Amino acid sequence: MRAFFSSLEKPSGTCSLAYSGMLPISFGFNVSKIIPSLWVLDSGATDHMNPSSKFFSTYSPCPSNKKIATADETLITVAGIGNIHINPFITLKNVLHVPKLSTNLISVQKLTNDISCNVVFNNNCCVF
């Protein structure tokens, strides 16, 4: 895993805050390039989020008034919602399509509830 991340171009990014719902508790990363297959495991996110509609296996457009907020208080529109198969064994349900995000986010909260698993973080890896 370390070798994979070391091989990636080092993005010059900023950390940003995004949320869906009543409380601003989802943290996300704003990186300079979208890596379509890279998913960031987000322990503070309330929803899974994806910037590209092409990965959805099911998809429904959202009303234009559904928004998430970034750390600088910019509101970003949620374009749709649906399911994404991230591998043959895991399907993320109710993923928000947020075109202005720059990376895919997996919500630990939703993941553990949806597929009844545990997520364990330690100093050099994450297991679920």
pLDDT in tens, 68-89: 876 567 788 999 999 999 888 8
Please give the distance of CA 59 from its chain centroid, rounded to a whole number: 16
Tell me, what's the pLDDT at 20? 42
For residue 90, the enclosing domain spans 2-118
Phi/psi for 23 (5° steps) reads -120, 140
- Flag whether 124 is in a domain: no
- Does 104 reside within a domain? yes
Check pLDDT > 90 for residue 61.
yes
What residues contact 4, with CB distance under 8 A and at least 6 apart? none
> Which alpha helices (H) appear in 1-128, and where do they start and end?
2-7, 108-114
Q: Are strands 67-69 and 14-18 parallel, antiparallel or unpaired?
A: unpaired
What is the total count of domains within the chain? 1
Residue 9 domain-assigned (yes or no): yes
Residue 127 maps to a domain: no
In a domain, 63, yes or no: yes
pTM: 0.69
Q: Are 28 and 86 in contact (CB under 8 A)?
A: no
Indicate the range of 16-25, 53-62, 96-105 predicted with least confidence: 16-25
What is the per-residue pLDDT for 43? 82
In a domain, 31, yes or no: yes
Residue 125 forms part of a structural domain: no
Residue 42: phi, psi to the nearest 5? -115, 110
Domain membership flag for residue 97: yes
pLDDT for position 23: 39
Q: How far apart are CA 83 and CA 94, in angstroms?
A: 6
